[in-house]
Amino acid sequence: MMKMTIRASARTIAQVLLNLSIAVLSAAQTSPSASAPAKPADDKPALRAFAAIHPIDVHVHVFKTDPAFQKMLQHLHVKLLNILVMDDTLSYRKQLQPQIDDAQALARSSRGHIALCTTFDPYKFESRSFTTDAIQQIDRDFAHGAIAVKIWKNIGMEIKNSSGQYIMADDPKFEPIYQDIASHGKTLMTHQAEPDVAWGPPDPSDPSWSYYQENPRWYVANQPGFPSKQEILEARDQVLSDNPQLRMVGVHLGSMERDLDNIASHLDKYPNFAIDTAARMEYLMLMPPGKVRAFLIKYQDRVLYGTDLDLPPDAKFPDALKDWQSTYERDWKFLATAETLTVEGQQVHGLSLPHRVLQKIFRRNAIRWIPGL
Ligand SMILES: [Zn+2]
């Protein structure tokens, strides 16, 4: 749900130029026609190496498909976890059942390249049958192949109970839902809170800042009485300690995007906790590389590769695929090679992680933490 790294308006000039040159190169190398679908795995060493590992991207939002998209998935040997979210401000995310129906059809048509992470409707929180309805629906989705469940930041930051309090992830009404997910051996994906900058002063140097310019409702620094980030994440942590049998993946670096030490202490404290990298790779890229490298090697079993790439209902092919290919290429270069990248106007050196660590981050951890992938 965080679009800042891949939206044109959020890119630095350097990133735009890089993408432009990638697009021009792709067009030149693959076809005389600029509108023909690119052949991603054929023309770029980084994408070839990425494809060779049979990567899994555990965090995408895909609402449609296209022969060019399916072809890209097959060329890259990539598998996706398609995550559903209820968002009452977007017409195509307002209703749950149509999203589930569409996502299941999409998964069925993907020849094994797309799996489904379902969700439940937290806006029905005050309904008397909320908990049992949610469990029934989740169980139905599991029976039809869903392999995980997502909770989103609207829990903690948007939805209020009848007393006017923001509902938190550790609310007793949610507990039977978590127990149900654990009893089915499925995984809970949690996007709780937001990057620090949402609570802080305006900071154009923060990779997420442009997101709050485009989505001011999630910028809460000026809202008196709003829950603190710590309060929201403590509720999430309570779910972890109350449910040791529940596997939880904290998406977006577990919302601790500026603090590897804090992530590390969470991973040490909660053996049922892992993180994904979705839409937060730039934070890793802008940290001291030695520290990031040591962290990823030490916690090589706990970090899942995710992007937050999306294909909204109005996506236009094949242009929509350029973000996908350039993101996969950039992330591979950062983690797997010693190449120099330009990120937010800064020179960033690739981490050259050992191959066995790359295999875990890009594939094996996903299979272990989200069985069914
Ligand atoms: Zn997302």
CB 41 within 8 Å of CB 73: no
What 3-state class would DSSP assign to 14?
helix
pLDDT in tens, 306-326: 999 999 999 999 899 999 999
Q: 28: CA distance to ligand 1 center in Å?
A: 33
| Sheet containing 148-151, strands listed edge to edge, beginning at the edge strand earlier in sequence | 303-304, 273-276, 247-250, 187-190, 148-151, 114-119, 79-83, 56-62, 309-311
Residue found by looking up tokens 């989200």 in the block: 370
Name 17's Cβ contacts closer than 8 Å, sequence gap at least 6.
none
User: Is it the case that residue 2 has pLDDT exceeding 70?
Assistant: no
Phi and psi at residue 75, in whole multiples of 5°?
-60, -40
Q: 3: CA distance to ligand 1 center in Å?
A: 8
pLDDT score for 224: 87
User: CA Rg, the chain, in Å?
Assistant: 20
d(CA 106, CA 267): 34
CB 326 within 8 Å of CB 18: yes
pLDDT score for 39: 53
Q: 244: CA distance to ligand 1 center in Å?
A: 25
d(CA 281, CA 258): 11
Polymer length of the chain = 373
pLDDT confidence tier of residue 11, bands split at 50, 70 and 90:
very low
3-state secondary structure 38-72: CCHHHHCHHHHHHHHCCCEEEEEEECCCCHHHHHH
Residue found by looking up tokens 């296209």 in the block: 66
Token pair belonging to 323: 């973000």
Please give the mean pLDDT across all residues of the chain. 90
Helix axes 130-143, 175-183, angle to 10 degrees: 20
Each as own residue / partner, the long-range contacts of residues 52-56 (CB below 8 Å, 24 or more positions apart, any chain) are 52/77, 53/358, 53/359, 53/362, 53/363, 54/78, 54/79, 54/363, 55/79, 55/305, 55/328, 55/362, 55/363, 56/80, 56/81, 56/304, 56/305, 56/362, 56/363, 56/366, 56/367, 56/373
pLDDT score for 270: 98
pLDDT confidence tier of residue 13, bands split at 50, 70 and 90:
very low
Q: 312: CA distance to ligand 1 center in Å?
A: 12
Q: 82: CA distance to ligand 1 center in Å?
A: 9
CB 23 within 8 Å of CB 318: no
pLDDT in tens, 276-289: 999 999 999 999 99
pLDDT in tens, 195-231: 999 999 999 999 999 999 999 999 999 898 899 999 9
User: Is it the case that residue 81 has pLDDT exceeding 90?
Assistant: yes
Closest CA to 230 of 201, 208, 271, 259: 259
User: Is it the case that residue 18 has pLDDT exceeding 70?
Assistant: no
What 3-state class would DSSP assign to 166?
strand
Q: 30: CA distance to ligand 1 center in Å?
A: 31
Q: 334: CA distance to ligand 1 center in Å?
A: 21
Cis peptide before 202 (omega within 30 of 0): no
Q: 195: CA distance to ligand 1 center in Å?
A: 13
